Amino acid sequence: MDLKDDSTLAFLASFAKKHREDIQPQFRHGVGIIYEIENADLSFERIRNYEQEKLLSVTGSRSYSACPRCKSLLLSLRLSCPDCKKLSLARSEIMIHYGCEYSGPVEEFVSQKDSEYVCPKCSKQMKRVGIEYGRPGIGFKCQDCGRVFQYPLVNAVCHNGHELKVDEIDLQHFPVYRINDEIRNFAEVAEYFASIQQALAGKGLEAQVLCKIRGGSGVIHIIPLVVRAGKTQVIVDFILDESGFDAKILQKILRGADLSKYVMLLFVPEGLVGRLAPIVNPEKIKLVPLSGNKKKDPAAVAEEVIKAAG
Ligand SMILES: [Zn+2]
Ligand SMILES: [Zn+2]
Ligand SMILES: [Zn+2]
């Protein structure tokens, strides 16, 4: 599924609860670099938004080979003959006859008799390894010009056909991310949401935790808590602290507009209520102050939801 608005804390929190490890970039054939969170493939651009919103931080990076001309990360190796540059190589164990200095694939030396070798060039018998003949290991034979060598010429070819020498290959770096502690703490709130859900059930209201809703634009939003109260549907969301506040609130407002059928109940730090009140439509977004880090009693949240639902 393509998650368009995936900045939701709950989405990351749910992931953070299950995974301690960092989020590594992954190369996906035909797609490029993605970051996988909760079975959703997020583009680099998208996960960078998380970083800008201070939901994630960079803990390191991984480098990927890239074509310097077209930036493609889809490189394949091309082994060719160092002499004639042709691509018709055969890989084999190599044998060398010291007497005439002929070398070639071991198959060329095998004679009719078992465990006996005959040099294909000078037709002499070879019996003692290390004295009459040597076996230096794996090598290549060019089937075009006949040359035998240990190391072929290695080039890379990108997806778009650009041929590169190894020292021309570019490197592109993609960050490794870690979900910030704030969100990790939010993972605990998943249970809190469940208790709010229960409190609402006690009042006869149906609520869903971590809900995906398609907005008017077709974008899918992940909502921490959605409550159905008669005809009204209430989205319950939180801004837990003031860092990155501008981006967060803009996102909530845009989301509110995209989900115009819903009333949003937004819990925000006490200090933000005064700044927010003038810029939100009180009919659509109802602000509820959170004091300190204290979670509001689920029963009290349920009361606020019922109030918001009218
Ligand atoms: Zn290229
Ligand atoms: Zn060759
Ligand atoms: Zn020979």
| The pLDDT of residue 231 is above 60 | yes
- For the CA of 117, the nearest ligand: 3
pLDDT range class, residue 212, cuts 50, 70, 90 = low
| The pLDDT of residue 6 is above 50 | no
| Centroid of ligand 3 to alpha carbon of 132 (angstroms) | 9
Task: With CA atoms as reference, report the closest residue to 141 among 163, 164, 109, 113.
Answer: 109
pLDDT range class, residue 76, cuts 50, 70, 90 = very high
- For the CA of 82, the nearest ligand: 2
- For the CA of 81, the nearest ligand: 2
Give the pairing of strands 89-97 and 102-105. Answer: antiparallel
| Centroid of ligand 2 to alpha carbon of 150 (angstroms) | 13
Q: What is the pLDDT of residues 106-164, one digit of tens each?
A: 999 988 777 789 999 999 999 999 999 999 999 999 999 999 999 999 999 999 999 99
Q: What is the pLDDT of residues 161-198, one digit of tens each?
A: 999 999 999 999 999 999 887 667 666 666 777 788 88
Please tell me the pTM assigned to this model. 0.53
Task: With CA atoms as reference, report the closest residue to 213 among 267, 150, 264.
Answer: 264
Q: Which domains does the chain have, with CATH numbers?
A: 10-72+168-179 (no CATH), 82-151 (no CATH), 182-309 (3.40.1350)
- For the CA of 123, the nearest ligand: 3
| The pLDDT of residue 2 is above 60 | no
